[in-house]
């Protein structure tokens, strides 16, 4: 079931709560048409209940086994708040990490303009020890006469840069929709492994 909308209630499971108790809560929520977003952290499992707040208030959530407390979520940024995701976010792409205790450096041109420029930049970025190479492929602008990137050709150039130097990261201002774009994106958005040492917390 697709989870849409923002959580209205935060259900915190106790540290000793079992997987069966968590599934029991999720089942009870589903029976009443309430969707849920589950975040399993290092210390506890948190369930964000998505539905009508008045309807949620009628459920005996605090009486379910394993539930430690039930709290309303009042902040507007509900899906990314520490209540739902208490652990720091870490982005891991084939061994290259960014976030929490991992420092990442992304460098490169705003836009991929031509092959030689991108490959030369990729070599310099790799030699400097950066985590990823930045390069824009699609750049929609207000004016149709302003440079908007070279599109699919840029993705192919980034793929070539990845094969030679490793760190690649494409940037698309609008999501690609065609199968060709999906294939090219899959080939270029991932980077080859490179060891990274944990540094100060971001």
Task: Please state, in angstroms and rounded to a whole number, the distance separating the CA atoms of residues 39 and 45.
Answer: 6
**What is the structure's pLDDT at 80?**
63
What was the pLDDT predicted at 49? 87
Report the alpha-carbon angle 95-100-101, nearest 5.
75
200 pLDDT above the threshold of 90: no
Task: Provide the pLDDT for residue 170.
Answer: 54
Confidence band (pLDDT; 50, 70, 90) for 192? very low
C-alpha span between 74 and 78 (Å, rounded): 8
Cβ pair 79, 38 in contact under 8 A: no
Alpha-carbon distance of 20 to 22, in angstroms, equals: 5
Percent of the chain at pLDDT above 70? 72
Tokens for 93? Answer: 């792409």
pLDDT (tens digit per residue) in 79-120: 666 766 677 888 887 788 888 888 888 898 888 999 999 999
Rounded Cα distance, 152 and 180, in Å: 8
pLDDT tens by residue, 109-154: 888 999 999 999 999 998 988 888 888 888 888 888 888 889 999 9
**17-40 residues labelled b (16+ CB within 10 A) or e (exposed):** beeebbebbbeebeeeebbbbbbe
Q: How far apart are CA 195 and CA 191, in angstroms?
A: 12
What pLDDT is attached to residue 77? Answer: 58
| pTM of the predicted model as reported, rounded to 2 decimal places | 0.50
Quote the pLDDT of residue 123: 92
Rg of the chain, C-alpha, whole Å: 22
Give the integer Cα–Cα distance in Å for 41 and 66.
15
**Residue 59 to residue 183: CA distance in whole angstroms:** 46
């Amino acid at each position: 079931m697709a989870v849409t909308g923002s959580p209205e209630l935060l259900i915190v499971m106790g540290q000793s709560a079992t997987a069966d108790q968590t599934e029991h809560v999720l089942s009870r929520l589903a029976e009443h048409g309430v969707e849920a977003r589950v975040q399993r952290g290092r210390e506890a499992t948190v369930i964000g209940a998505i539905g009508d707040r008045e309807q949620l208030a009628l459920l005996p959530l605090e009486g379910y086994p394993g539930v430690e407390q039930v709290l309303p979520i009042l902040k507007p940024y509900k899906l990314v708040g520490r209540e739902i995701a208490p652990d720091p976010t870490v982005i891991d792409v084939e061994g290259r990490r960014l976030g929490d205790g991992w420092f990442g450096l992304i460098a490169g041109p705003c836009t991929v303009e031509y092959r030689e420029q991108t490959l030369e930049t990729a070599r310099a970025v790799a030699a400097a020890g950066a985590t990823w190479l930045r390069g824009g492929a699609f750049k929609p602008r207000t004016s149709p006469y302003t440079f908007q990137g070279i599109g699919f050709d840029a993705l192919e150039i980034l793929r070539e840069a990845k094969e030679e130097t490793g760190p690649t990261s494409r940037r698309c201002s609008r999501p690609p929709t065609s199968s060709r774009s999906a294939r090219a994106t899959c080939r270029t958005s991932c980077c080859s492994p490179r060891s990274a040492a944990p540094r100060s917390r971001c």
